[in-house]
Amino acid sequence: MAAEAVPEEVLLNNDLIKELVEVAKDTALLHGLLLRTKESPYSSEVVSYIPFTLFPTPVPRDLFQQALQVQTLFNQLVDKISRDSCFLEEALAGPIKVDMFTARLFQIYRTVQQEACAQSIALCLNRSDYMLDLRPDRNATLKQIEINTIAASFGGLASRTPDVHRHILKVAGLPEHSKRVLDNNPAAGLASALAKAWELYGNKVIFYSLPYFFFFFSLMYICRNIPVIRRRFSDVFKTGLLDQDKKLFVDGKEVAIVYFRHGYMPDNYTEQSWEVRLMMERSQAVKCPDIGTQLAGTKKVQQVLAQPGVLERFFPNEPEAVARIRATFAGLYTMDIGEEGDRTVAMALANPEKFVLKPQREGGGNNIYGEEICRVLQEKSERVAYILMDKVNPQPSRNYLLRHGSPVKLATCLSELGIFGAHIRQGTDVVWNQCAGHLLRTKSAEYADGGVAVGVAVLDNPFLV
């Protein structure tokens, strides 16, 4: 596999790079690749360009296609897990004893299950993230890092980055290279699924849970005339209510869909927020995600799925589907109290640099590496809040990372490929199951963990090789 998407003479031509950097920034601004600045996170009048790479990054075509083709199976898997209360209760039995955030989520799930408050329409917009694991024979394999089932972000921005990279390559004198940057429009795919769920419910408003400093989820404004209200949990605590039919109203308007743009981290919640979340889960409104789907995205569920025979529970008599999903799994190990968990701990302590310790969190910047793993594992009772995963050995590339206020220099980079999925079920009938597009994020190899929102990774595009 080529190390870069551009020739060496372009990559090392300092005068050309300076010109391309300025062109790239202007092109990003013209295409709406914007975010609020760190200095003015609450101001809609002060924005800059979203962090992104100067050039697209090489990705093997066969592995890219593998990731696309398995996505609809992951969509089905998440939906099946969300409805299997026995599986979720057994899988999460350990984490909910020591991880209070996961325990609170599971308490809501259990309450809703006991009250039979299940919504008739289930909508999941997810993103399955992968890295390419370079084996000793120098061949790469696709390995899933995680699946994000709540606030799977950057669908809108990823739809705009291909044109930026195409233009940069043309200015660099590489028009043929620009043709290898793929079309990509996850915004349209995700918006279409939201619109379909909205139609199935009955064309009411969509409620959008927004902490004001996050990127605005603008999918509904791309090509749809659907009313959207944006509120915090604290606002809904004041104006939200359920009627006798368990229809949800916010500001006096009936809500068709609740889209959670946050709610995946403990600091997103106050006691009022937990009350609001329970009220929403009890309602007939379509939750994206519902509480079961959010729990299906926990790392413990990811680890349990990798155990022998577990995937067969969800895909009985479908060995090909099981094989295609399992082929993407990295080594995943339990931290439960007992002999198997003790073996995992011993393995991690002996070679901590070979593993990643993962808590039950989404959002980036939560994983634990190296000697820090040893420190965490000293607390035996706390270890069940985590899973252990083999550390992926990705193929590095070289690129320039453009970030507001940071110097531009050639860096050794690592990339992560995300595939968006959209799934709708009405009752027991699947009415929508699609791969909605892709996302590539790249970071400097000096960082072990962290996404775009936490200031480590930047947006990118695959350059198929």
- Which residues are CB-neighbours of 223 under 8 A, at least 6 positions away? 188, 191
Q: Where do we find the tokens 């009936």?
A: 254
Residue 358 bears catalytic tag: yes
State the Cα–Cα distance between residues 124 and 436, nearest whole angstrom: 12
Residue 146 bears catalytic tag: yes
- Which residues are CB-neighbours of 170 under 8 A, at least 6 positions away? 178
Please report, in range form, the residues annotated as the binding site for ATP.
146, 299, 358-367, 369, 416, 443, 449
Residue 403 bears catalytic tag: no
Q: Where do we find the tokens 């793993």?
A: 373
Interaxial angle between packed helices 271-282 and 100-114, expressed in degrees from 0 to 180 and rounded to the nearest 10: 30
Please report, in range form, the residues annotated as the binding site.
127, 146, 148, 299, 358-367, 369, 416, 441, 443, 449
State the Cα–Cα distance between residues 345 and 29, nearest whole angstrom: 48
* Tens of pLDDT, residue by residue, the chain (465 residues): 445 789 999 999 999 999 999 999 999 999 999 888 888 877 888 889 999 999 999 999 999 999 999 999 999 999 999 999 999 999 999 999 999 999 999 999 999 999 987 679 999 999 999 999 998 888 899 999 999 999 888 988 999 999 999 999 999 999 999 999 999 999 989 989 999 999 999 878 777 775 543 334 445 544 457 888 889 999 999 999 999 999 999 999 999 999 998 899 999 999 999 999 999 999 999 999 999 999 999 999 999 999 999 999 999 999 999 999 999 999 999 999 999 999 999 999 999 999 999 999 887 778 999 999 999 998 777 899 999 999 999 989 999 999 998 999 999 999 999 999 999 999 999 999 999 999 999 999 987 665 565 568 899 999 999
Cβ atoms of 95 and 300 within 8 Å: the answer is yes
Please report, in range form, the residues annotated as the binding site for Mg(2+).
146, 148, 362
pTM: 0.94
* Residue-by-residue DSSP string for 75-108: HHHHHHHHT-HHHHHHHTTTHHHH-HHHHHHHHH
Please report, in range form, the residues annotated as the binding site for substrate.
127, 441
Residue 362 bears catalytic tag: yes
Catalytic residue (choose from 25, 166, 204, 299)? 299
Residue 218 bears catalytic tag: no
Residue 127 bears catalytic tag: yes
Catalytic residue (choose from 48, 82, 126, 148)? 148
- Domains of the chain, start order: 58-163+182-325+411-464 (3.40.50.1760), 331-391 (3.30.1490.50)
Q: Is the dihedral of CA 439, 443, 448, 454 positive or negative?
A: negative
